[in-house]
A and B are shown apart, each in its own frame.
Chain A
Amino acid sequence: MSDDKKTLMPEYIQAVSQLGLKIKLIEDAEAAGDTAVAYDEWRAKSGRKQMPGILKCFGQRPDFLRHVMAFSNTVHFSEGHLSRRYKEMIASYVSYLNRCPY
């Protein structure tokens, strides 16, 4: 991590980041079978190429990954009883409290 990046990051983020990857993710390039299909579905919908790490965590159960993408869109990535803006406030603060820099 570069020094100027470090100054932007609170200590807890640096500490968590240093632990690195602990359980193997299924990376974009090695995805096969239904995992590759589920990754492609996300790429087609999002218009992005590289799977985000949080979704690659679900690579071992592509059927569950599809559920996660669907319910996240339903309840988080959209307006509901709460605005998307308030949802992102909640998510940011919960992530801070749970020490999740990602």
Chain B
Amino acid sequence: MNQEPAVTTKIKIVEDADATGEVAEAYDYWRAGSGRSKVPGILKSLSARPDFLKQAVDFSNTIQFSDGHLSRRHKEMIGSYASYLNSCPYCLDSHAFFLKTQGASDEAVAAFMAGDLEKAGLSNAELALMNYVELVTKAAYRTTPEDVEKLRRAGWKEEQIAEAVYIIALFAMFNRIANAFGVPVQNHVAMGKLTS
């Protein structure tokens, strides 16, 4: 059996093998729901509060990992681009990979990885949405009623715009957690598969 390389994060996380009690229970809760065995670093970052970890698993499934007012595919575009803008390599790799599982081409995934959306083959409506992702991510307080009107003109409905904001905010949160802890990149995109 291969020895796992020792991974150092800036703030201590509880590894799969070290989990006991409520943390072990929360990890098992994620494993049962996902069918995967190794808990991703972003979730291990929440091990100091296993009760919150379980809630994070649940609300992520509700709002991100499912179709809503927006398709899962558009959510992964938002997540990838927000992660690029927030300089979060862990989340960018993870969600650009999920974008690929939602039918995006290798070229589109590469464009998202590089933050070069002109090469992503997006529709005008999708480009307008990505432009809004940038505005909210960089300075939500500066967005104007006109910025939102541009989205409506591009065809996005009010409930889709609202959901886009929830997703952008979700990534503001997880990008900060991943970067503050220093969670190592999983290289899903490079490997072409889930590596945990």
Binding site for B on A (CB under 8 A): 16, 19-20, 22-24, 57-61, 63-64, 67-68, 70-71, 74-75, 80-81, 98-100
Contact A23 B148 (CB under 8 A): yes
Binds A, one of B35-43, B56-64, B91-99: B56-64
Contact A60 B159 (CB under 8 A): yes
Contact B52 A100 (CB under 8 A): no
Contact B69 A60 (CB under 8 A): yes
21 contacts between A and B (CB under 8 A): A22-B147, A22-B148, A23-B148, A23-B158, A57-B165, A58-B166, A59-B162, A60-B162, A61-B68, A61-B69, A61-B163, A61-B166, A63-B62, A64-B59, A64-B62, A67-B55, A67-B63, A70-B55, A81-B48, A98-B140, A100-B141
- Give the contacting residue for B52; candidates A63, A74, A99; CB below 8 A: A74
Query: Interface residues of B toward A: which range?
Result: 20 to 34
- Give the contacting residue for A67; candidates B48, B51, B58, B147; CB below 8 A: B58
Known: A23-B158, A23-B165, A98-B141. A74 touches B148 (CB 8 A): no
Interface residue SS majority, chain B: helix
Decide if B145 is an interface residue (CB 8 Å cutoff).
yes
The docked-state distance in angstroms from the alpha carbon of A22 to that of B58 is 29
A92 CB, min distance to chain B CBs, angstroms: 16
Beyond contacts A60-B163, A64-B62: 5 other A-B pairs, Cβ-Cβ < 8 A, are: A22-B148, A61-B62, A61-B68, A61-B69, A75-B49
